[in-house]
Structure 1
């Protein structure tokens, strides 16, 4: 049994009883956008029901969740979740342009992270060179670029050794993730091991090269967190299009920035710390009130104080009951 469904401004199509509106529209050659692959996990296939909304199946659980979040009115439905029960329904697609038509051909969607994105639980790793500006001001451009390449190579080698993926670089720092091909506990272990290797390799580099030849010592700040993020490919023609986005990414970046105030070069969230199989010794803990973040975050300090500073660092390195402070 089939019913007739009209797409405003396009055409009327047949819809079989077992087909969703999305399946029927794709079968009829309508380039209906569906970024999640028709699984009810996004809103890109949504339609506006112009007439006959009572002739459609009730909203599914996925639809109800999305409707509550997005505050959609009753006449907005997800085509991938909706079936037609009778003739006399007219709908209108809400997302339609030529770019959408090029992404999906014949209704086939690539089920890869790169094409449609995917929710993953990953370990998030941020690192930044702490005292690079003085070196930049007092040395020739060639020397600056040369040493920065060497330092970034140290970062990269450690991250790759422990199966991490560098997502972005900015100036004298970078952002990487661990866990694209492993479970979250292994991912956090790998992130911490990579961080410790970087600290050790940088110590050797300072002692054997930077201090003897340039009378300088580089230090870094590392922040590690873990959480659910969205992994996808932005696909804008660059050589490296993988991106990872989400609330935990911002937290990891803030932890890296907090290493200065905490006077410790390696800060890990307590959440990630508890996932470690063999947690390293922690010099102290604290609760951070991060700007723009509503809840406090407990952290563990698993690195070392910066050179030339005391362990107290204005009283922010905590050895007793944790206090709260704003960063």
Structure 2
């Protein structure tokens, strides 16, 4: 008996007995790419199975070989190698025009999961250098860049030591994530350990280098939060192209900004703090209102009060 397959955003297609998904879509007039002629020797006909994966025939030997090479997730199938054995199948073509074809076929990223994007729980880490503007104003350009490189090396070494990935740098701060290769509890632990290492290493840098040679010291503000985010590769040729976005990212950024008003160098959401197996000493907890966030967030202060007085910033009325 014939079944039906729903091509998301396109049409519901009848599938006759013995037809592959590719054959059925072509018969229904869908311009389904199939560069190798439907012989399982390329990947242009691949589809993302949204529902009914159990209603498809098992992967063929051609699919298994390609999956091993391309590291396809289980819900990506070759339409030319997949037959339907029941109702309730919904798929989405991944290559729908020439731009898609370039991204998926000619792009340098060999991870289909990263190109397609995925949701996963991660620890989000924001850090910003305090009192850097006075140093800029009083120093030569060479010294400013040189010190920036030294400080960012401290950041990078700590983050990479604990398996974090720097996503973005902006001015005198950066944004990193933990959890690309670990579960959320380990990700939270790693983010905290990286932050504490940065605070310790920066203290040494201040005492052995900044004070003797520049009569200046630096402090930082760190914010950490955890949550489910979207991870993907935007493929625009910048850095490693990895993007991590979502509401929890905004919360982490707000926590970093709140270090100033809370007068503590390391602010972590209570949600992230409760995931830690070895919880660092907290100077206190409380609820803070974050800009753009409707409910107050409970946080833990696991850094130290700032040694230098920070200028007061008038609250944003917007």
Looking at structure 1, the residues matched to 277 and 124 of structure 2 have their Cα atoms a distance apart, in angstroms, of: 17
Matches within 5 A, 1:200-219: 200-219=200-219
State the match for 1:30 in structure 2.
Answer: 32
Looking at structure 2, the residues matched to 205 and 298 of structure 1 have their Cα atoms a distance apart, in angstroms, of: 32
Q: How far off is 1:296 after superposition?
A: 1.5
Are 2:26 and 2:32, in contact at CA under 8 Å, matched by a contact in 1? yes
Match of 2:50 among 29, 33, 39: 39
| Aligned CA distance change for structure 1 residues 14 and 294 (closer, same or farther; 3 Å) | same
Looking at structure 1, the residues matched to 290 and 247 of structure 2 have their Cα atoms a distance apart, in angstroms, of: 12
| Aligned CA distance change for structure 1 residues 30 and 268 (closer, same or farther; 3 Å) | same
SS of aligned partner of 1:38: strand
Are 1:35 and 1:116, in contact at CA under 8 Å, matched by a contact in 2? no
Q: How far off is 1:291 after superposition?
A: 1.4
2:259 paired with 1:259? yes
Q: How far off is 1:288 after superposition?
A: 1.5
List structure 1 runs of 4+ shifted beyond 4 angstroms. 1-5, 17-23, 26-29, 31-36
| Aligned CA distance change for structure 1 residues 36 and 261 (closer, same or farther; 3 Å) | farther
Normalised by the length of structure 1, the TM-score is 0.69
Q: How far off is 1:3 after superposition?
A: 8.1
Are 1:36 and 1:116, in contact at CA under 8 Å, matched by a contact in 2? no
Looking at structure 2, the residues matched to 206 and 139 of structure 1 have their Cα atoms a distance apart, in angstroms, of: 16
Looking at structure 2, the residues matched to 21 and 304 of structure 1 have their Cα atoms a distance apart, in angstroms, of: 60
Are 1:178 and 1:187, in contact at CA under 8 Å, matched by a contact in 2? yes
State the match for 1:70 in structure 2.
Answer: none
Matches within 5 A, 1:244-283: 244-283=244-283
SS of aligned partner of 1:306: coil
CA RMSD, 1 decimal: 3.7
2:118 paired with 1:123? no
State the match for 2:191 in structure 1.
Answer: 191
Are 2:267 and 2:303, in contact at CA under 8 Å, matched by a contact in 1? yes
Q: How far off is 1:144 after superposition?
A: 0.0
Looking at structure 2, the residues matched to 140 and 284 of structure 1 have their Cα atoms a distance apart, in angstroms, of: 40
Looking at structure 2, the residues matched to 133 and 19 of structure 1 have their Cα atoms a distance apart, in angstroms, of: 67
Looking at structure 2, the residues matched to 24 and 103 of structure 1 have their Cα atoms a distance apart, in angstroms, of: 25
| Aligned CA distance change for structure 1 residues 254 and 13 (closer, same or farther; 3 Å) | closer
| Aligned CA distance change for structure 1 residues 185 and 18 (closer, same or farther; 3 Å) | farther
Looking at structure 2, the residues matched to 293 and 186 of structure 1 have their Cα atoms a distance apart, in angstroms, of: 27
Query: For this pair of structures, how many residues does the alignment match?
Result: 259
Q: How far off is 1:37 after superposition?
A: 2.0
Q: How far off is 1:22 after superposition?
A: 7.9
| Aligned CA distance change for structure 1 residues 288 and 24 (closer, same or farther; 3 Å) | farther
State the match for 2:90 in structure 1.
Answer: 81
SS of aligned partner of 1:81: strand
State the match for 1:144 in structure 2.
Answer: 144
SS of aligned partner of 2:180: coil
Q: How far off is 1:184 after superposition?
A: 0.9
State the match for 1:285 in structure 2.
Answer: 285
Looking at structure 2, the residues matched to 164 and 26 of structure 1 have their Cα atoms a distance apart, in angstroms, of: 45
Looking at structure 1, the residues matched to 126 and 190 of structure 2 have their Cα atoms a distance apart, in angstroms, of: 14
Looking at structure 2, the residues matched to 222 and 215 of structure 1 have their Cα atoms a distance apart, in angstroms, of: 24
